[in-house]
A and B are shown apart, each in its own frame.
Chain A
């Protein structure tokens, strides 16, 4: 059974960079697209971007200037960096697999506050 687990700081200061890692277990990270999705409290889902195991990326145009994703196939991990964060970036961040998000992490709350 494939499992995804997000990890990273739960508190980030305004203007700094949010960094999260998603570790995939129970299956290989290879040959799939992997996405980051976020959800502010009480609001809907927003797709942040995706990375293929080759390293190719696609980002949400509204976040593109601040987002960087990377993948480490040797560790079965992929990562998200979101720069110049503000309070509007406070949300639960999820990682998910594929075109139809068939597996999700449990989510991690990231709060942007000084």
Chain B
């Protein structure tokens, strides 16, 4: 399995609080991604990174920001969490623009 970890694995928070999710990889892959998965939807891309300090928006980026200061870490921040951001968040990595490998996921509940 690809060396990808996510932390925390589970989090419950309240509306309006900031939340940061961390994705860490040991594969030295260039590309990293954040997705969310919700019932009735396929995985949807939030943000992605194509190198250190190089990031861009995906299809559902509103309310989220990201940072990548090191190759191995990609952080996803919810500046002010809302109930609509309750979801399962997956990080993925890729060495090319092709096959992606996923981390174990973070279950976030916003009350």
Chains A and B bind each other: no
List chain B positions with a Cβ less than 8 A from chain A: none
List chain A positions with a Cβ less than 8 A from chain B: none
